[in-house]
């Protein structure tokens, strides 16, 4: 007689909330209204409308578990907001020698682009790390990725005491990482392991440095 087959127990699936990432993208679209028309591609409301339109198939793909389509649409949406932010930053830098904008407008624009920079790259880290949010949910516990979060270095005994056996990063963790990168120009308590993540963080730090050191400093000097 053959012994009955035993099934391997599956890890419980952690459902990661998607609304923080959605709010971040909508906030980027809203920050467009803080920029003068000369620093935007098209009208102020264009980016927000594009995000709302693309958000419909994105939400549909997520609900229907169409993971490949969901990932592709997510990357497309994040790429659009990234290109829009870089475009506005380039226009702002190019306008500095001509003194086209008042100091108040420069400070307002610099602040809006700095915040957008944090939200944009937090979205990239959240969407790409460990295969994306869907892949992290399937694994149930985050043990490998582009970033080494402190919870990943805990011993099994410590995780059990802290009730972190099934810990996995969510959007707030990546938002904190992006905030530190834009303020301290380093990942602080989260070492970077992947080359693509290092490249993205260098780009984010460069944008933040240009926004703070070049634009804000010039606006303050004019005041």
Separation of alpha carbons 1 and 139, rounded Å = 35
* Chain centroid, CA 211 distance in Å: 18
187 domain residue, yes or no:
yes
Band of pLDDT at residue 13, cut at 50, 70 and 90: low
- The count of structural domains within the chain is 1
The better pLDDT of the pair 137, 10 is held by 137
> Structural domain of residue 162, as residue ranges?
19-222
Q: How deeply is 78 buried, as exposed, middle or buried, from its count of CB atoms within 10 A (0-12, 13-18, 19+)?
A: buried
pTM of the model: 0.87
108 domain residue, yes or no:
yes
Could you give the percent of the chain with pLDDT greater than 90? 49
Band of pLDDT at residue 212, cut at 50, 70 and 90: confident
- Tokens representing residue 56 in the block: 């419909």
6 domain residue, yes or no:
no
Band of pLDDT at residue 121, cut at 50, 70 and 90: very high
Q: What is the pLDDT of residue 30?
A: 93
208 domain residue, yes or no:
yes
Q: Where are the alpha helices (DSSP H) in 129-155?
A: 133-139
5 domain residue, yes or no:
no
Are 150 and 175 spatial neighbours (Cβ–Cβ below 8 Å)?
no
11 domain residue, yes or no:
no
Q: Mean of the pLDDT values across residues 175-198?
A: 90
- Tokens representing residue 157 in the block: 């005994």
Are 11 and 166 spatial neighbours (Cβ–Cβ below 8 Å)?
yes
2 domain residue, yes or no:
no
- Tokens representing residue 175 in the block: 């938002």
10 domain residue, yes or no:
no
Could you give the percent of the chain with pLDDT greater than 70? 89
- Tokens representing residue 185 in the block: 């120009």
pLDDT digit string (tens) for 63-83?
Answer: 898 989 999 999 999 999 999
Q: What is the pLDDT of residue 215?
A: 67
- The rounded mean pLDDT for the chain is 86
149 pLDDT more than 50: yes
């Amino acid at each position: 007689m053959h012994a009955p087959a035993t099934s391997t127990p599956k890890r419980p699936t952690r459902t990661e909330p998607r609304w923080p990432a959605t709010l971040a993208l909508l906030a980027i679209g809203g920050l467009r209204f803080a920029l003068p028309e000369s620093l935007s591609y098209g009208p102020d409301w264009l980016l927000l409308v594009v995000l709302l339109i693309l958000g419909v198939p994105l939400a549909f793909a997520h609900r229907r578990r169409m993971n490949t389509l969901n990932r592709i649409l997510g990357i497309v949406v994040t790429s659009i907001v990234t290109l829009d932010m870089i475009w506005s930053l380039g226009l702002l830098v190019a306008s500095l020698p001509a003194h086209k904008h008042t100091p108040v407008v420069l400070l307002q624009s610099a602040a809006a682009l700095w915040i957008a920079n944090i939200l944009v790259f937090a979205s990239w880290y959240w969407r790409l790390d460990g295969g994306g949010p869907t892949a992290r949910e399937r694994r149930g516990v985050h043990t490998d990725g582009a970033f080494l979060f402190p919870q990943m270095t805990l011993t099994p005994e410590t995780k059990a005491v802290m009730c972190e056996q099934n810990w996995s990063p969510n959007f707030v963790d990546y938002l904190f990482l992006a905030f530190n990168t834009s303020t301290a120009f380093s990942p602080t308590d989260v070492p970077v392991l992947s080359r693509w993540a290092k490249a993205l963080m260098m780009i984010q730090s460069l944008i933040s440095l240009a926004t703070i050191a070049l634009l804000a400093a010039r606006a303050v000097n004019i005041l």
